[in-house]
Amino acid sequence: MGRSSSRWMELAWLWEEDLPGESSFPRSKIMPQNKLKIALVGQPNSGKSTLFNALVGLKAIASNFPGTTVEILRGRAFISGKPAEIVDLPGIYSLFAEDPAERVARDFLLTERPDLIINVIDASVLSRSLSLTLELAELGIPMVVVLNMADEAEHKGIRIDREKLSEILGVPVVLTVASRGVGLRELLSALPKAAVPKSPVYSPPVEKAISALLLPGKDSQEGPSFPPRFSAILRLAEGKDLPEGLKEELHCKGEEEPAWILAEERAALAHRIFREVARVERAKVGFREHLDDLLMHPIFGYPFLLLALFLLFFLTFKVGGALEGLLLPALEELSTWIREILGAGVLPEVLGGALDGLFAGIGIAIPYLLPFYLLLALLEDVGYLPRLGFLLDGLMHRLGLHGKSVIPLVLGYGCSVPAVLATRILEDERDRLLTAGLAVLIPCAARTVVVFGLVGRFIGPAAAFALYLGNILVVALLAYFLSRIFPAAGPGLILEIPPYRVPALRTTLGKTWLRLREFVKVAWPLLIVSSAILSLAQAVGAERYLNLLALPFTFPLGLPVQAGVPLVFAVLRKELA
């Protein structure tokens, strides 16, 4: 099942007929009468979004760093001729944490109660990932476990006995490499076999505490739809209104809370399961490990960083300039020919203005956006952005920011919206607010079009690059002063460094298209409409009055009188100016 174009057909085919040796979903257990709801749940950077895209078509941006999915994404499929909804939840480490994204995922699982959970696990960090699996097992929802990134586990020398793991958990276990489509057919075949997992068994003191909270008269405040055992564990984790003496029975020391005891028990149980099902051989030290010694070196890492940024902007300028040189002359000739056909008058002028906006998107914007988004996607998928955060952590702390702030700021060169959303990877609210405020000052890809397409063309690439360096300096100074106004002892850097990966062509191109589509759907129509409005203002003589109204703003800045109208359009989108 290597080709992505066949995935939808294969999904439908597998469910239109019974699988060999198996019946279709037992309706009495998990098949609703109207629509099946399947939730993808896993830790950050486990490959959930890649699997989601493989199952329902390209709908989510999947990147090689934690925290990519920041909202609930829904896709539709047809199973046995009936509609099914597949839901990609934000990556979570625990159902009991207080992170906003983790609360969103937990609330979805507990309120919407999906019919089936696909627990996506990074097979290369199985021991750590099983803690979440044990939490999900308490929900009483049928589940299938997907050991994704099986190739990375093999590279690390980890051999997993999936049949043994399936026996311990009581659910089907499938090995996949979602980025290449490996194992997807097996996953689809395993879905009808989904079963309610076995409930984990903890130490006697913990089990006794859970049983005490299950006694009559101890109903959970969350409601009867919750499994009683999960409600008891949730209440125990929150540590509120516990029976007298319960903490002492759990052997809590000092200020130690029951939630810590539960987390330790779960981690210990996950590690025991890992030892039973996995065999770890000596991992080979290869090119990727030696590459990290250079890219994250406190001295030699910076030349590689400057080289990466230089190549990003240099290739964007060169490729964009070449595409613009091919497209723009032909579009200008076509525009002149159409204007001659339209003739003179107010309406032809307005139509001609709209045509200019249309051709500006084709001839100027897209030639620069396309290579920029493609190169940014390659940096993400290779796994360089988290390493960039590690390298710049010391510098960022001197500016009053966290090392992980680098990731949202770099994403801001693509678009401010995902950059602001990416601040969820920061633990401290103060860091999130400062980083989000600075991210909107980064010139996004649409403004990159202006810098390279206009400044680079009429003044030169050196001036365009100088503008970017100046912007970085302004953002750094602003970060320094804001951190002095809002001081805080930020947490140290704890950042998961994902393995290097060869970018999957379909994933990289798909991500490029998803970002380019936002320009096509939002900015391009505004460009066309604003060009038409500007032509109308010129045709009726209103442009002069608009410029005079803006004179109190343009004159002190030393701008020409004609800058008034562009500044008005900048209120809508800055690149329109």
Closest CA to 370 of 325, 316, 330, 423: 316
Check residue 201 and report its DSSP letter: -
What local confidence, expressed as pLDDT, does residue 195 receive? 93
Domain span at residue 172 reads 9-193
More confident call, 166 vs 286:
166
Domain boundary among 193, 219, 237: 193
On whether both 58 and 148 belong to a single domain, the answer is yes
Report residue 524 CA to chain centroid gap: 24
pTM to 2 decimal places: 0.70
Look at residue 87 and give its three-state secondary structure. Answer: strand
Please, is 285 exposed, middle or buried when counting C-beta atoms within 10 Å of its C-beta (0-12, 13-18, 19+)? exposed
What whole-number distance in Å separates Cα of residue 84 and Cα of residue 78? 6
Domain count, the chain: 3
Instruction: Decide if pLDDT at 118 tops 90.
Output: yes
On whether both 260 and 385 belong to a single domain, the answer is no
What local confidence, expressed as pLDDT, does residue 198 receive? 92
Domain boundary among 193, 218, 253: 193
- Average the pLDDT over 443-468 and give the result: 74
On whether both 188 and 235 belong to a single domain, the answer is no
Model confidence at 136, pLDDT cuts 50, 70, 90, reads very high
What local confidence, expressed as pLDDT, does residue 7 receive? 37
Please, is 215 exposed, middle or buried when counting C-beta atoms within 10 Å of its C-beta (0-12, 13-18, 19+)? exposed
- CB of 105 closer than 8 Å to CB of 56: no
Find the CATH number of the domain harbouring 58. 3.40.50.300
Residue 510 lies in a domain: yes
- Average the pLDDT over 94-115 and give the result: 81
What whole-number distance in Å separates Cα of residue 384 and Cα of residue 301? 11
Rg from Cα positions in the chain = 28
Model confidence at 134, pLDDT cuts 50, 70, 90, reads very high
Residue 564 lies in a domain: no
Residue 136 lies in a domain: yes
Instruction: Decide if pLDDT at 575 tops 70.
Output: no
Please, is 109 exposed, middle or buried when counting C-beta atoms within 10 Å of its C-beta (0-12, 13-18, 19+)? buried
Residue 218 lies in a domain: yes
Instruction: Decide if pLDDT at 387 tops 50.
Output: yes
Beta bridge partners of 182: 177
What local confidence, expressed as pLDDT, does residue 137 receive? 93
On whether both 254 and 363 belong to a single domain, the answer is no
More confident call, 366 vs 31:
366
